Structure 1
Amino acid sequence: MSTERNTYGLISLDSRLYAMAGNNIHGSLNSVETYDTQTNTWKSVASMIIIREQFDATVMNNSIYACGGLNVNVFKFCEYYSTINDQWYEMVSMNTERRGLALVAHEGLLYAIGGYNDRDYYLNSVERYDTYSNKWTQIKPMLIPRYMFGSASFMGNIYVCGGEGINTTIYESCETYDPKTNQWTTIASMLTGRRYFKLIVFNDILYALGGLISETNITETVEVYDYNSNKWYYTQSLPDKLWGYGPVRSLEDFSDDRCDHCAAVVTKWWPIMIQILAHDGRDCQ
């Protein structure tokens, strides 16, 4: 990338990566750049409406949505990006200020989950955005408050794992939300407690990658969730210790069965996933 970034948004859409906002030694950012996997180049696109870090972003209906975050104060503000117009648009704000939240697109709806603010501290509240009603609605809260945790849409439900909670406890625990019943249910805990990490869905498999496992220790470990047995197990570790990287939800946009296409991505994601796939006995052919 042309700009150094931490606690930023990293989204895959239409075989491109979008790196958004975040912070560096110069302060918080609102700039956005996109990586073209075909030309192996980065270029700048329209900046976000506001400067932000510790936000979350996701893709829905071929647009990029971003909510919450921090720039001096924690805020509710949400916006979305049109790749056709190369423009960000303001949308209805969330009901609650959140940073370190999870923003998950699931079955045509947006879910803003957990996080932290200076009034309520660690949050377990959840709200859902419907594009048709143009409203955020409070739904069933998580079983425990979480901040800087992993999240994913997986097997018809929303999964959340790890993160930080009361007394800065780092969690191994996981839970899943069923939209049909509006209920959260505990599932098997990860083997390692972690925050500032990501849950990634790849080839219908859920991975937990990297993160902070204490105040000073970063991990390169990777865990895989076995849906049928409700168990986590370790797979091949990342080549580097990583934490605080952008929220890529899925790498399916890049899985077009061409290994040369996989290798073209200059970020760490494809080398990481290729190594994991090879370790798990799967081929990129």
Structure 2
Amino acid sequence: MNTGKKALKFKPGPSSRFNADASFRNLSKYHLGGVIFGCTNSTINECLSNQLFGLPSQHFSYVKNIDPGLPLFLFNSSGRKLHGIFEAASSGQMNINPYGWTTDGSERTLYPAQVQILVRKQCQPLLENQFKPIITDNYYGPNHFWFELDHSQTKKLISLLASQAMTPNVPQSSTNCRPFCTVLPSLETTEGSEKIKPQIMEVDFDLASQVADTVDVASSLDAGNSEFGAHCDANEANEEEKNRLLHKLQQLARNHHESPMLPLTSDTYHTTFSKDKNLESNGCSVEPIKSKESNEEDFGSSTEFQSLIAQLVQEIQKLKDSKAEQAKKIVFLEEKLLGAEGEIQELKSLLTLNYLPKSDALEAKRVMVEEQIEDSCLDPCESIFLIGGYDGASHLSTLELYDASRDMIKSLRPMRSVRAYASVAWLNSQLYVFGGGNGCVWYNTVESYNLETDQWTLCPSLNLAKGSLGGVSIGNKLFAIGGGNGIESFSDVEMLDLDLGRWICARSMLKRRFAVAAVELNGVLYATGGFDGSDYMKSAERFDIREHSWTEIASMNEKRGCHSLVTLNEKLYALGGFDGCSMASSVEVYDPRMESWIIEEPMKRTRGYAAAGVINESIYVIGGVLVDDKILDTVDIYKEGYGWQEKTSRVLKKRCFQSATVLSA
């Protein structure tokens, strides 16, 4: 099946301006689980202090999908470390601060795609070798990776960071002792023959390291600010306790200055000041002082002081134990919160049910529960694979499994890049998607999907960038047929030889065909219609790999391009498309045994750029464009003997330019 575009004047939105080589995945808002923002050593402080993250303007294609509460992370490219856990405090917007990260605000910012943030949990940063295995699929170069995260990657990063959560603690000083005494005046001995020179006493707080630094100034209690800011401050009760202890320490300091006292530890040292007569000349009274050994009873205040210090140490230890217990509770509650977020998202999807009548709401809930159970068990052999496309707002990287008979859909891992106008084919149980683009840029890239592992892999690129091409597999070969680049239409055919590991040029078609449709039937490749550079065509041709040549077959009855082509009961069905003037609903059937096209019953709607597949002897034509750029979300269903029926889907959204295929045997 193939999609294409030429004459239809379709204008994609601004999010479609995507370069295939740029660092975007362009996940939809539904698939976006988190976003990584970038910084350097010179900008990280501004990011955190202003609580604002930003990226260059081209990243707005996905920054605009950020809603409040979405998990965010900050990658410091200078140290190759990932910081978190943050969350969005606003929606992603342009120029929240037009002058952010500039020297003096005289120039406009280079990072206008911005979001306001808050800290969800303060954690130790992750080294690249720690987080790289989680986002390995995002790496498109040795040191470059896409910043968009799906839900699975986000959950794993949050779990890893949460395991290294930082526990709030009492700030500690870089030194263990601080000058904390008064000058003792010159004193005479009992004999009056000698004087003890003035001294400065310094108290060593090694015996109470928890008290160190709190004596000098109150601000030292706040000295433990980390680079993320002090978002883990103690609660109000702890603040009151700290203030009470600080008041005691300050009172202790004042008392010590007011009355002389002996040293508390053996580390006390004496510093000789100027001569005793200087003190006497300043009017200082001189009292005799006895030795410590003989006059210990005169210094009861020393014992009282030591007792007070011991009491304060015990109280601070209790405070630390209380804070440690609170930190454990906070970690536990945050883990509970993270687990509840998934449930909240599910509940949000039920909000609209409140506006339904009670009986309808109950029925809708019942159906939703059944779908949640069943969609995880969708049979790929009974479903149609829908790939990429355009929904009217942005181009998509989605891969979905659609069970048309039960009208159920399941999201699989999205492609590495947004992709529309592409072609798809199965080869050796791998789904290959090649070519296409986003309306501005055409791709030559190819990627394959493994259904068993739910993983995408980059494959050898096409020789030419092209879109609206056909894709068919025969035997062990994959063919990329025709297509164009918006300037010229191609007749070229490229073949992927897995033994050689590259695309090689095969025999070209007889005509140039952009917006061509192609299928395989009984080992023969068929290509129909398309745009040759000047007009849409009725002609068709076939390629027999055994003859290695193209042969013209009977022409269709109507011109058509960007149409769908499927096989049913050994016949080809050409469905809808664009004839150069308008969309068509007509259907033609080619029987190779009769070598002629027969007009059959038309579809219920005109549609082109649609996706089509055959399941259980029924043809399903999904989405596409009706007319005047109106995108469809309905399905036309055909079964021999029953004709066409149009079905409104509950799960499909409006989409065109997508590709579709069914699982090949």
Structure 2 distance, partners of 1:154, 1:9, is 20
8 Å CA contact 1:161–1:172 kept in 2: the answer is yes
Structure 1 distance, partners of 2:422, 2:628, is 20
Paired residues, number: 249
8 Å CA contact 2:435–2:469 kept in 1: the answer is no
Structure 2 gap segments, 5+ residues each: 1-414
Structure 2 distance, partners of 1:25, 1:147, is 17
1:175-254 to 2 correspondences below 5 Å: 175-229=588-642, 231-237=643-649, 238-246=651-659, 248-253=660-665
SS in 1 for 2:593: coil
Structure 2 distance, partners of 1:87, 1:55, is 18
Structure 2 distance, partners of 1:25, 1:104, is 24
Q: 1:91 aligns with which of 495, 506, 521?
A: 506
Superposition deviation, residue 24 in structure 1:
2.8
Q: 1:44 aligns with which of 433, 453, 458?
A: 458
1:102-181 to 2 correspondences below 5 Å: 102-119=517-534, 121-167=535-581, 169-181=582-594
Structure 1 distance, partners of 2:589, 2:422, is 25
Superposition deviation, residue 250 in structure 1:
2.4
Instruction: Label 1:94 to 1:220 Cα distance change in 2 as closer, same or farther (>3 A).
Output: same
Name 1:73's counterpart in structure 2. Answer: 488
Structure 2 distance, partners of 1:222, 1:86, is 38
Structure 2 distance, partners of 1:11, 1:108, is 14
Give the partner amino acid of 2:618: I
Structure 2 distance, partners of 1:224, 1:25, is 29
8 Å CA contact 1:58–1:249 kept in 2: the answer is no
Structure 2 distance, partners of 1:150, 1:105, is 13
Give the partner amino acid of 1:112: A
Structure 2 distance, partners of 1:52, 1:203, is 33
Superposition deviation, residue 202 in structure 1:
1.5
- With 6-15 and 41-50 compared, the bigger mean Cα shift is at 6-15
Give the partner amino acid of 1:79: E
Instruction: Label 1:25 to 1:150 Cα distance change in 2 as closer, same or farther (>3 A).
Output: closer
8 Å CA contact 2:617–2:639 kept in 1: the answer is no
Name 2:270's counterpart in structure 1. Answer: none
Name 2:210's counterpart in structure 1. Answer: none
Instruction: Label 1:82 to 1:235 Cα distance change in 2 as closer, same or farther (>3 A).
Output: farther
TM-score (norm 2): 0.36
Superposition deviation, residue 101 in structure 1:
0.8
- With 1-10 and 156-165 compared, the bigger mean Cα shift is at 1-10
Structure 1 distance, partners of 2:612, 2:452, is 26
Superposition deviation, residue 252 in structure 1:
4.4
Give the partner amino acid of 1:76: S
Superposition deviation, residue 162 in structure 1:
0.4
Instruction: Specify which structure has the higher proportion of helix.
Output: 2
TM-score (norm 1): 0.83
SS in 2 for 1:30: coil
Give the partner amino acid of 1:213: L
Does residue 28 of structure 1 match 2:442? yes
- With 59-68 and 203-212 compared, the bigger mean Cα shift is at 59-68
- With 7-16 and 200-209 compared, the bigger mean Cα shift is at 7-16
Name 2:351's counterpart in structure 1. Answer: none
Instruction: Label 1:204 to 1:85 Cα distance change in 2 as closer, same or farther (>3 A).
Output: farther
Instruction: Specify which structure has the higher proportion of strand.
Output: 1
Structure 2 distance, partners of 1:65, 1:192, is 31
Structure 1 or 2, whichever has the larger Rg, is 2
Superposition deviation, residue 84 in structure 1:
4.6
Give the partner amino acid of 1:57: G
Give the partner amino acid of 1:197: A
Structure 1 distance, partners of 2:637, 2:429, is 25
SS in 1 for 2:632: coil
